[in-house]
Structure 1
Amino acid sequence: MLVKFTVENYLSFKNRTSIDFTATSLTELRDANLYQSPLKNVTLLKSMIIYGANSNGKSNLFKAISFARKFIINSSKDSQSDEAIEVQPFCLSTETIENPSLFELVFIHDAVKYRYGFQVDETEIHKEWLYMTTKNKEQLLFERDFQDITITKKYDAASNNLTSITRKNALFISVCAQFNIPTAMAILKALSNVQYISGMQDRYTVNFTIDMMDDPTKKKYIDNFIASADLGFTETKVERFKLTEEILEKGNVPKEIRKMILESDEENVVVSTKHPIYDENNEEVDNIYFNLFVNESLGTGKYVALSGPIIDTLMNGKTLIIDEFDAQLHPHLSKAIVELFNSKENNPHGAQLIFASHNPALINPKRKLFRRDQIIITEKDQFGVTNMESLYDKKIRKDASFEKDYLEGKYSGIPDIKIDDDFRLFDE
């Protein structure tokens, strides 16, 4: 479970900026939108929505989380030994361009709270640290200053042998996990439960959902999810096949291309949706299957593609980050997905959803979807620096009209459009 993420000097985040899933003292929607973690004093938000104009930094936040996660998991691999670290500091200021970027994650795993972070530039790790909290007391496990790594008695003793073989461009936690140090392995497992996907039907999301459909139990959950959306079908079918010489020849595929396709030996997949056929009396007499990504709408295809990651997240208590979440989705479908996460019955394991949106209707107070500490506004200042605040941080009243006030610019985070009566696109 993600508790807090902090980034500094990365992309548009010049200053230290955090998102915090720790619930504040607000009284609204406590039963539905909060999850009591295994730690008695830590109550977490189940969902978080991020608003802001285009290019204000919403996607950069997700990129920061994705970079930190991938770097932690992969930095010790041999394939990374000679590669530059793909980190980009805030480049619009002479103060930061030569400084390292900072990333820190606070999370709970197996009823233990960890705080792990590092500072890094394109060539090496500057600092790295790991703390754990037991009985409300935070204790240092290890810390690093360039290649000087200090391990305390609270950390696994076997890791002492790994300090000398840790490369300057590899994280010590990643090296420890590679050599089966239990604490490090637990931390990487926890971070692997933080998933980032694009909401624009990227291939990974589609393939993930298709793979889940191979499991009958998971497919049943996916079909239940689809059936609840009233898309005109209630069932899907996955067919896998390989193209043969005969099929390609019948399709008049040129010989050279046929050879390339056959040598690749790739498996092809078709996802179909089941629709009823009716007679003149509107009685169901048969069924027909449509190709999901040919015959159905883009919104329908996206909803089905998202179903796999959403079901997986809810089943396993993971954290799901979706950029462009509600693009191509009807507002009622977006609302229904949020309600799945803000639900005791459908989200018993404290799964978390964080997403970017341009749909202000989702924060209409009448919908009762979000608390003020779940609504984040991003804004980029005149110097290109992204800042983030929740409506709770902005001290917005409980009875305020969030949707209306946001559109009127009272919370910032909307584009300052220059097109007015005097605007001329072309010279006269």
Structure 2
Amino acid sequence: MLMRFRLANYKSFLEESELTFVPARGNRSCSKPIYPLQSRTNEVGVLPVAAIYGANASGKSNVLKGLMLFVKEIINGSRSKKFTLGEQWFKLEPDAEFTPTMFELDFVANDTHYTYGIEAGRKRIEQEWLYKWKYGKKKTRAVLFHRNDAEEEPYHFGRQLKGRNKIISELTKATSLFLTTAATANHAELGQIHEYFKSNFSFRFGYQDIEAFDATHIEQSKLETKVSGFLSKLDTGIHRIQVFEEELDSDSKKILKALSGSFSEISKDDPDVRFEFPEKKKGIQTFHRSSNGDDIPFSFTEESLGTRALISILTPVLIILEKGGTLVIDEIEDSLHALMTTEIVKLFQDETVNSVGAQLLFSTHETHILGSKILDRDQVWFCEKSKEGASVLYPLSSFRLQKTDNMERGYLGGRFGGLPIIGELTSLTREV
């Protein structure tokens, strides 16, 4: 489970910023923390939902993009010859080019709290660290490994990290992560941590109207019945859905064959990259009930944009609610009605539905969620730009509020920041 994410000198973020799922002190009315860690003296709670609000270009999407970049680098490593991980520094500060980009995660894997982070320079990984936390009468930290490429002996390994650590460190390139290299080398503990990232994160940026993609995931996860049930309950007019498979037409096969040859030529220097295109395609068929009770089939494209968006977002939501993990969605309300968005958030807040400790992290402009009182103050975050143009991230829990305060009205009234500063557009139009 995700506990905290920190980043610095990445895109619009200059100074270190932190987003946390660890609950703040105080009474709760909307959410119950999940307790992945328990000790004799205390319980460590983690929240199921966090929402980020902010104006356009405030940087809220950059928090999610930074998390995705970090996780995907851990999973896949640097496959291209050019090192790009440290290329997205804060461009408005001249000195930032010479300061590394930093990412750090606190997470729970295999009933253990870990902290893993990196500092990426322009051409190499400058630092990398992994800590393990133990909870008892006191909270203690053990260093599993720390890498600092500026030192004569770059790697320091803690006693608790068993395995061929020194050999693996010698195999790790300057542009590669030791954690990823160790997982490739079948390191026992680090391989399990790598698997956590591989199987527990799902990212969704913008509405993706990809019928075949959604059909494949619905079929693989056996979600036809669940998706059908939700669509029926949400009054879309759809009684049920069905995933189908059919042969590609001859023209499509010719195009894919040509593309396969082109991609193979481009990637011929990298034996790990292979391109395979299917002979068949999957799709989604919807069924509506006629007045006489018959199921009438419709193609996916015959449904409204909003309905297609709902099916597209329900698929990863139901998968993560079934297996657990963290789902990250940028602009969750994209093409969805406000009430639909609210219902999706409620699924993660309901412990009878979310019994596996699934988490949802999303950015949004949808203020109806604030007015619906389905999120506690420590689940709401705001992002805005400073005078220097750098993004600042802060939680609603940093404000003093009364129980009777309307969060939606307060946000729209500018009390919490995170709103666009709009000048006199009519006069600007006349000048242009």
Change (3 A) 1:224 1:199: farther
* Kept in 2: contact 1:324–1:356 (CA 8 A): yes
Q: Which residue number corresponds to residue 342 of structure 2?
A: 335
- CA distance in 1 between counterparts of 2:189 and 2:404 reads 46
1:39–1:111 CA contact under 8 A, matched in 2 = no
Deviations 1:258-311 (Å, cap 9, x if unpaired)?
Answer: 843677764223311101222xxxx32x2211112x211111001101122111
User: Superposed, which structure 2 residues align to 1:138-287 within 5 Å?
Assistant: 138-146=141-149, 148-192=154-198, 193-201=200-208, 203=210, 206-215=211-220, 217-245=222-250, 259-260=254-255, 266-278=279-291, 283-284=292-293, 286-287=294-295
Match of 2:377 in 1: 372
Residue 56 (structure 2) aligns with? 54
Question: Would you say the 8 A contact 1:53–1:414 is kept in 2?
Answer: yes
Separation in 2, partners of 1:156, 1:74: 23
Question: Counterparts of 2:428 and 2:82 in 1: how far apart (Å)?
Answer: 49
Does the C-alpha gap of structure 1 residues 207 and 3 become closer, same or farther in structure 2, counting only changes over 3 Å?
farther
Which amino acid letter does the alignment assign opposite residue 77 of structure 2?
S
Q: For the Cα contact (< 8 Å) 1:73–1:188, is it kept in 2? A: yes
Of 327, 340, 351, which aligns to 2:358? 351
Q: Aligned residue for 1:66?
A: 68
Matched residues in 2 for 1:424 and 1:130: separation? 52
Which amino acid counterpart does residue 212 of structure 1 have in structure 2?
A: H
The range that moved more, 118-127 or 155-164, is: 155-164
C-alpha distance after superposition, 1:338-397 (max 9, x if no partner): 110001110011111011111111101xx2200000010101112110001111023333
Report what 2:38 is aligned to. 39
- Could you tell me which amino acid in structure 1 is paired with residue 319 of structure 2? D
CA change 1:237–1:113 in 2 (3 A) is: same
CA contact (8 A) 2:215 2:283 kept: no
What residue in structure 2 maps to residue 137 of structure 1? 140
Mean Cα deviation higher: 369-378 or 21-30:
21-30
Letter in 2 for 1:117: G
Unaligned runs of 5+ in 2: 259-276
Q: Secondary structure at the match of 1:309?
A: helix
Contact 1:199 1:302 (C-alpha < 8 Å) held by counterparts: no
- 334-343 or 20-29: bigger deviation: 20-29
User: C-alpha distance in 2, partners of 1:139/1:427?
Assistant: 62
Conservation of the 8 A alpha-carbon contact between 1:314 and 1:341? yes
For 1:253, the equivalent position in structure 2 comes to none
Kindly indicate whether the alpha-carbon contact (under 8 Å) linking 1:85 and 1:169 is maintained by their aligned counterparts in 2.
no
Match of 1:252 in 2: none
Q: Contact conserved, 2:163 with 2:187, CA < 8 A, in 1?
A: no
- Find out whether 1:90 has 2:90 as its counterpart: yes
Match in the other structure for 2:123 = 123
Q: Which stretch of structure 1 is more off in the superposition, 218-227 or 382-391? A: 218-227
**Across the two proteins, how many residue pairs are aligned to each other?**
403
Distance 1:265 1:185, change over 3 A: closer
Where 2:416 maps in the other structure, the secondary structure is coil
| Structure 1 letter corresponding to 2:104 | E
Equivalent of residue 321 in structure 2, options 314, 338, 343: 314
* Matched AA of 2:285: S
Q: 1:302 aligns with which of 278, 286, 309?
A: 309
- Structure 1 residues 61-115: Cα deviation after superposition (integer angstroms, max 9, x where no partner): 1110011001111226xx34x2222431111102312211000000001110000
Q: 1:370, 1:347 → 2: CA distance? A: 15
Distance 1:212 1:243, change over 3 A: closer
- Give the 3-state SS of the residue equivalent to 1:236 in structure 2: strand
CA contact (8 A) 1:212 1:219 kept: no
1:340 partner SS: helix
User: Could you tell me how far apart the structure 2 residues matched to 1:259 and 1:199 are?
Assistant: 30
Pairwise CA distance, 1:399: 2.6
- Write the distance in 2 (CA, Å) between the matches of 1:170 and 1:89: 19
Structure 1 residues 243 and 162: CA distance shift in structure 2, 3 A: closer
Deviation at residue 427 of structure 1 after TM alignment: 4.1
Unaligned runs of 5+ in 1: 249-256
1:426 aligns with one of 400, 406, 430: 430
Question: Given that residues 168 and 181 in structure 2 are in contact (C-alpha distance below 8 angstroms), is that contact kept between their aligned partners in structure 1?
Answer: yes
Name the aligned partner's letter for residue 127 of structure 2.
K
Shift in Å, 1:157:
3.0
- C-alpha distance in 1 between matches for 2:37 and 2:156: 30
Cα deviation for residue 137 of structure 1 reads 1.3
Q: 1:201 to 1:244 in 2, by over 3 A?
A: closer
Does 2:298 align with 1:290?
yes
Q: 3-state SS of the aligned residue for 2:74?
A: helix
Q: Structure 1 residue 212: deviation in Å? A: 2.9
Distance verdict in 2 for CA 1:149–1:207, change over 3 Å = farther
Which whole-Å CA distance do the structure 2 matches of 1:202 and 1:151 have between them? 47
Structure 1 length as normaliser, TM-score?
0.89
Shift of 1:328: 1.2
Contact 2:324 2:359 in 1 (8 A): yes
Question: How large is the Cα RMSD of the aligned pairs?
Answer: 2.0
C-alpha separation in 1, matches of 2:373 and 2:416: 19
Name the SS of the counterpart of 1:42 in structure 2. strand
Identity of aligned residues (%): 27
Aligned partner letter, 1:348: S
d(CA) in 1 for partners of 2:226 and 2:278? 31
Q: Work out whether residues 382 and 417 of structure 2, in 8 Å CA contact, stay in contact via their aligned partners in 1.
A: yes
